[in-house]
Copies of this chain bind each other. A is one copy, B any other.
Amino acid sequence: MFMKNCWYVAAWSHELIDDKLLGRTLLNQKVLLYRGVDGQVCAIEDRCCHRGALLSKGRLEGNCVRCMYHGLLFDASGACVEIPGQETVPPDLKVKTYKVVDTGRLVWIWMGEQALADESKIPPFPYLHDPEWHGYPDYLHYQSNYQLIADNLADINHIAYVHTNTLGGSERYVLEQKASPLERLDDGFRLTKWHMNSDLPPFVRKIEKKMGKVDRWNTVEMKVPAFFILESGFSPAGTGIREGNKAGSLEFHNFQAMTPETEDTTHFFWVYMHNQKTDVELISHSLHDSILEGFHEDKDIIEAQQQVLKDDPEFRLRAIASDAPLSHLRWLVAQKIKEENERVAVQV
């Protein structure tokens, strides 16, 4: 069971260059993403309605896609517009379509009731469009349910143990950090954690040699079903970061979007951005590689966890205090799925 009436990331825009017919399973549905000759990104069912052949193995023709099994041609509205060797085409011969929005760097898709798709509900991450901010977008495929990845992100304390030598820096992080009250929002939560008078973690030390002790902050914003937006910063220690003085600080913006492929697998889109003025590409590269190293530490744990939970459906997890954000997010998702089901029941 997934939330359906919401936007998901379907692809990075750059995945659709060169007339690529990108077949991708999203929420158990086979979707074909492509950019037509008119420049519009389209999403149609990746399954010919005739014999079920993959349209992603077909051929782009203008704004249409031809199935290369028996040659049926489909336009961007999903309608079959040509059956080679047959004079007429039944008007109801069509494949499903999905609303998509191409924001420039991300392609968003609405998998649920198409009439409800509202572009203004796309989670904003303005740094992607801001020429001052730099980073290399990337993708990972997870052998786990998307919520286990969101759970991981919802408790940032995990950086102390999972990422000690990469993103975290010290197990003391979890003992010494101070947290703001959890802001429970209608569509997610917001939380800031500070680690005062600490050392730069390894991944920052690689690109910043001069700073001594720092005050570190992480402001996490998560949105249903599974978006993670993080502002991270490092200020010279004692210069008043908790009072809002960010002068002389290093700042990063991190975006992570989890899109269910199936119940047990997930598309993971991410970018980590900085606003340095010099060595821009070097720094982008270094940050990309450091973060990816950290993500593999997560992936190792989460995919094993998936297997453990799968092996024993009776197993009940036990919450600890720092699970409050996780619990709120899971509760919200469950609520929204319930509402969607009730809505469908009323319609029927």
Contacts and interface: CB of A to CB of B under 8 A. Distances in A.
A304 interface: yes
Contacts of A85: 157, 174-175, 177, 321-322
Main secondary structure of the interface of A (DSSP, over half): loop
Interface in A59-116: 66-72, 83-86, 90, 93
Given A85-B174, A174-B71, A318-B49, A57 B304 contact: yes
A297 to B, nearest CB: 9
Contact of A317 (B51, B83, B177, B304): B51
Interface of A: 28, 30, 47, 49-54, 57, 66-72, 83-86, 90, 93, 151, 155, 157-158, 160-162, 171, 174-175, 177, 300-301, 304-305, 308-309, 311, 315, 317-322
A71 B305 contact: no
A68 B171 CA distance: 10
Contact of A51 (B71, B151, B160): B151
A58 to B, nearest CB: 9
Contacts of A177: 85
A70 to B, nearest CB: 6
Contact of A320 (B50, B305, B308): B50
Contact of A301 (B53, B66, B93): B53
Contacts of A84: 157, 160-161, 171, 174-175
Contact of A322 (B68, B86, B93): B86
Contacts of A175: 84-85
A319 B66 CA distance: 17
A161 B304 contact: no
Q: Which 5 A-B pairs have the closest CB atoms?
A: A85-B174, A52-B308, A84-B174, A71-B161, A86-B321
Given A70-B155, A70-B322, A315-B52, A308 B160 contact: no
